[in-house]
Structure 1
Amino acid sequence: MFRNARLSLFLPFLVCVCANGAALAQSLPQPASQNGISYITGGVGEDEVQAFRAAAPGYNLRMTFASKTGSYLSDIDVTITSGAGRSVLSVRTEGPFLFVRLPAGRYQIGAQTRHITETRKIQVPAHGGADLRFYWEDPDRHGVMRVCKSCPDTARP
């Protein structure tokens, strides 16, 4: 009797887990490749964010792009150059995440938005991975100059 009760509770659970796994797999973009380097970019919407979190261990360089106020950013031009100065990857992000599979080694990462470029040097390990986060000033505030430090901030609603 208990066996049938457990089975009747387990089957709906198993169906839900499989359905959620399929939904996550569908929301994850297919990996692209450039110069033999595999990568995924995206992360728009909660389903995609969850899918990227699940896929993260499969990539040894994981980058996130956001404003300093915490808003995620997209359409970031990213270039990855090897330690020898050879261009490895050049891509525009389709969301706040860019996950890349690179051979172990030293790289320089350039990320540009609104004519502002951030550059980082990183060592990608042979085992495990590296996480990079790029932050820019809030796009709505770019170029706003405050003349008076004690004046109220009228640029924000």
Structure 2
Amino acid sequence: MARHKGKAALALAWALCGALAWAQQPGTDAGSMVETVATPAAVKYLNGGAGDEERSALMAQWPQFPLLIVFSASGGAYAVADGVRVANAQGTTVLEVAQAGPLLMVNLPPGEYRVQARVGDAVQERRLQLGSQPQRLDWRL
């Protein structure tokens, strides 16, 4: 049993490493797993959740992120958007993520935001108001 717990812990650590990404100032190495966002301050986010264990590990982190977006297909199965863009009330892009989901958690300050999700040539948009409590947005692609 101890060996099984060790494997589960290793799988959980691996899933978290694969799911964690930091948006940093321009100049980040394009060959790394770190994505670049041209904003005055870095926006922390988690992206992933392909398997049950990875989703559970990500959901444990949700209280640290004001916004959780859960992408699903029309039949209810989890889905991945080709790209997601988040803009603030002034229209400035604060985050862009390629291959977002099925879970995308974003650390944003309270305020108004416009979120666009792209699948193929189709773009869907949602407007939201973030407050002090974490908010979940269930999004059918």
TM over 0.5, yes or no? yes
For residue 62 of structure 1, the aligned residue among 68, 74, 88 is 68
> What does residue range 79-118 of structure 1 map to in structure 2 within 5 Å?
79-118=85-124
Alignment TM-score, normalising by the size of structure 1: 0.68
- Structure with more helix by fraction: 1
Structure 1: distance between partners of 2:126 and 2:117: 9
- Give the secondary-structure state (helix, strand or coil) at the position aligned to 2:72: strand
Q: What per-residue deviation string (whole Å, max 9, x for no partner) do you get for residues 47-80 of structure 1?
A: 1011111111111111011111012112431110
| Structure 1: 5+ residue stretches without partners | 1-11, 137-157
Matched, 1:47 2:53: yes
Range with greater deviation from structure 2 (53-62 or 29-38): 29-38
Structure (1 or 2) with the larger CA radius of gyration = 1
Structure 1: distance between partners of 2:74 and 2:121: 16
For residue 22 of structure 2, the aligned residue among 12, 32, 38 is 32
| Structure 2: 5+ residue stretches without partners | 24-36
Alignment TM-score, normalising by the size of structure 2: 0.75
The aligned length equals 122
Shift of 1:94: 4.7
Conservation of the 8 A alpha-carbon contact between 1:24 and 1:50: no
Conservation of the 8 A alpha-carbon contact between 2:82 and 2:117: yes
Structure 2: distance between partners of 1:115 and 1:86: 22
Q: Percent sequence identity over matched residues?
A: 27
Alpha-carbon RMSD: 2.2
Conservation of the 8 A alpha-carbon contact between 1:118 and 1:134: no
The equivalent residue for 1:4 is none
Whichever residue aligns with residue 30 of structure 1, its letter is L
Structure 1: distance between partners of 2:66 and 2:11: 24
Q: What per-residue deviation string (whole Å, max 9, x for no partner) do you get for residues 120-156 of structure 1?
A: 110111x2111112113xxxxxxxxxxxxxxxxxxxx
